[in-house]
């Protein structure tokens, strides 16, 4: 099979790109390892930045999120010193999040893409991108029956995440990988229970971080800082709820709405950036380009931003013979990525501290307390926080 652009992966990056190319009449094909049902139900992110909504609006892809998403504009920090709330929607640039589960966004994007005649092969795993250093790259794939075949393209868009074929196909030394393992892990939970507070909750506790994020009126995401290497099912539901209640100060601030835990995932907090985001005719976007720690919920938002920039550049090249956008693509995206990395890292250091009784740990924890105090009391610090928290 042949397409001008073969897109690896049907996540937010791949499907925004597919929709935009399709709308501009560029011939493309999406290759996705999972089946359609998995793609439509995989619960991950949920907080869309104001700029993400503007991008989706610009291209007529935001109807579902306007109908079913909910605006969100407050967060609450709970610490040993008490709690404070930031109404970030009225700070900084006055922007809000839209809470819309990622699987619903992906479902909307997929429906729109297929409705416009977009081609997608499910249950087809990309194995490798070959010949990316030339102008006729190929993608080797395994079809649903496990048979190998080849797809021919002008460009390949690697939107297949951090463990995908795009990254694996980069020859050693072609692209630099900046990588940081934060040495921390979270147990990510989805509870079949209504949210327990009307804000994002960040609890900073001697036992570790705990987080609370609304998803829908019936489903809430929680996070618990968790020992690295511990299995996701190591704790009983009772223990999980007790630990969440303890770290979030439920005795003082109100009980949590408990319910069955319907999903558990251990997330090792790591960040990386590939530089540049291009190797010949292979272009990277989304998690394949850079992995953000989930501390500031930036990953899906960056994926959408990069997909829009990449779509514009590919259309300029393929429809108008102007390759300058593709030449600029990496340099244009990297500043956004690094700013998101910087803020995620700042959040990470705000929410986690070393646990030892040694002098250095005590010093770092005192700094962290001062940082939280500054966020509680300084209006300019709050404006800075709000701008970066909702912005991409
Ligand atoms: P993905 O969504 O990972 O999509 C990649 C696709 O490629 C998948 O469909 C996969 O099946 C497919 N694929 C992989 N390998 C192959 C292959 N070899 N061949 C074919 N197909 C392949 N981000 C936020 O902005 N806000 C949040 O609140 C947030 N919360 C998160 C919570 C959790 C628990 C996790 C895990 C992530 C969270 N993120 C959040 C990050 C966000 O989900 C990702 O950044 C986002 O999904 C990236 O989109 P993507 O399209 O690049 O990759």
pLDDT (tens digit per residue) in 44-89: 889 999 999 999 999 999 999 999 999 999 999 999 899 999 999 9
Report which protein residue has its CA nearest ligand 1's atom 28: 45
Ligand 1 site-directed mutation target among 14, 52, 72, 102, most atoms within 8 Å of CB: 102
Beta bridge partners of 7: 30, 157
Q: Is the ipTM of this complex over 0.85?
A: yes
54 contact partners, CB below 8 Å, separation of at least 6: none
Of ligand 1's listed atoms, the one at least distance from the Cα of 39 is 9
Q: Say which residues have a Cβ less than 8 Å from residue 296's Cβ, sequence separation at least 6.
A: 340, 343, 344, 347, 388, 389
pTM of the model: 0.96
The yes-or-no verdict on residue 391 having pLDDT over 90 is no
Q: Specify the residue with its C-alpha closest to ligand 1, atom 3.
A: 161
Token readout for 40 is: 């439509």
pLDDT in tens, 267-308: 999 999 999 999 999 999 999 999 999 888 899 999 999 999
**Buried-exposed string 334-371: b where 16+ CB fall within 10 A, e elsewhere:** bebbeebbebbbbbbebbbbeeeeeeeeeebbeebeee
Q: Which residues, in sequence order, are bridge partners of residue 263?
A: 190
pLDDT at 295: 87
Hey, whose CA ends up nearest to atom 46 of ligand 1?
Answer: 300
The DSSP letter of residue 284 is E
The segment(s) of the chain belonging to CATH 3.50.50.60 are 2-46+101-175+276-347
From the list 184, 343, 176, the residue with the least C-alpha distance to 273 is 176
Q: Residue 204 and residue 334: Cα distance in Å, rounded? A: 31
Class of domain 2-46+101-175+276-347: alpha beta
- Residues 89-112: pLDDT tens digits? 999 999 999 999 999 999 999 999
CB-count burial class (<10 Å; 0-12, 13-18, 19+) for 79: middle
Ligand 1 centroid – CA 379 distance (Å): 35
Pocket of ligand 1 (CB under 6 A): 8-14, 31-34, 39, 44-47, 102, 125-126, 159-161, 164-165, 188, 265, 267, 286-288, 294, 297-301, 303
Residue 334, token pair as written in the block: 């990297």
Collapse the DSSP code of 276 into the 3-class scheme (helix H, G, I; strand E, B; otherwise coil) and give the result: coil
DSSP letters spanning 191-250: ESS--SSSSEEEEEETTEEEEEEE-SSS-EEEEEEE-TT--TTSS-HHHHHHHHHHHTTH
Q: What is the mean pLDDT of residues 203-207?
A: 94
CA 59, 60, 64, 67 dihedral sign is: positive
pLDDT tens track for 364-373 = 999 999 999 9
CA of 350 to the centre of ligand 1 (A): 25
d(CA 58, CA 55): 5
CB 286 within 8 A of CB 307: yes
pLDDT over 90, % of the chain: 95
Spatial separation of the C-alpha atoms in residues 14 and 110, rounded to whole Å:
10
Tell me what the mean pLDDT of segment 122-131 comes to: 98
Q: How far, in Å, CA of 51 to CA of 45, rounded?
A: 16
Q: Residue 375 is encoded by which pair of tokens?
A: 């966020």
> Please, where in the chain does CATH 3.30.9.10 lie?
182-270
Q: How does residue 160 score in pLDDT terms, banded at 50, 70 and 90?
A: very high
CATH class of the domain whose range is 182-270:
alpha beta
Ligand 1 atom nearest to 164, measured from its CA = 15
Nearest CA to ligand 1 atom 41: 299
């Amino acid at each position: 099979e042949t397409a001008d652009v073969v897109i690896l992966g049907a996540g937010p990056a791949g499907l925004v790109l597919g929709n935009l190319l399709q709308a501009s009449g560029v011939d493309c094909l999406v290759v996705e390892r999972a089946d359609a049902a998995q793609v439509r139900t995989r619960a991950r992110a949920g907080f869309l930045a104001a700029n993400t909504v503007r991008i989706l609006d610009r291209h007529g892809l935001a109807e579902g999120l306007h109908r079913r998403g909910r605006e969100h504009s407050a967060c609450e920090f709970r610490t040993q010193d008490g709690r404070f709330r930031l109404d970030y929607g009225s700070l900084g640039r006055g922007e809000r999040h839209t809470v819309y589960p990622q699987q619903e966004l992906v479902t909307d994007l997929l429906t729109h893409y297929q409705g416009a005649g977009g081609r997608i092969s499910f249950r087809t795993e990309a194995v490798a991108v070959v010949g990316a250093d030339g102008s006729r790259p190929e993608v080797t794939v395994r079809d649903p029956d496990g048979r190998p075949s080849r797809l021919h393209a002008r460009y390949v868009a690697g939107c297949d995440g951090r463990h995908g074929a795009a990254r694996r196909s980069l020859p050693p030394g072609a692209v630099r990988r900046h990588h940081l393992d934060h040495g921390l892990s979270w147990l990510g939970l989805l509870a079949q229970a209504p949210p327990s507070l009307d804000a994002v909750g960040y609890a900073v506790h001697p036992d570790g971080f705990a987080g609370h994020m609304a998803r829908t009126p019936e489903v809430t995401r929680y996070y618990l800082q968790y020992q690295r290497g511990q299995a996701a099912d190591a704790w009983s539901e009772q223990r999980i709820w007790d630990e969440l209640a303890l770290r979030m100060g439920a005795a003082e601030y109100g009980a949590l709405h408990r319910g069955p835990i319907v999903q558990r995932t251990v997330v090792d907090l790591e960040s990386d950036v590939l530089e540049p985001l291009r190797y010949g005719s292979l272009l990277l976007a989304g998690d394949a380009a850079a992995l953000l720690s989930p501390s500031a919920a930036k990953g899906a938002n960056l994926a959408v931003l990069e997909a829009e920039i990449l779509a514009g550049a590919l259309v300029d090249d393929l429809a108008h013979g102007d390759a300058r956008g593709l030449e600029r693509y990496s340099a244009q995206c990297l500043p956004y990525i690094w700013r998101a990395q910087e803020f995620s890292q700042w959040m990470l250091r705000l929410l986690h501290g070393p646990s030892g009784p040694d002098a250095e740990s005590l010093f770092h924890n005192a700094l962290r307390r001062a940082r939280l105090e500054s966020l509680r009391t300084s209006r300019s610090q709050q404006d800075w926080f709000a701008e970066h928290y909702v912005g991409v």
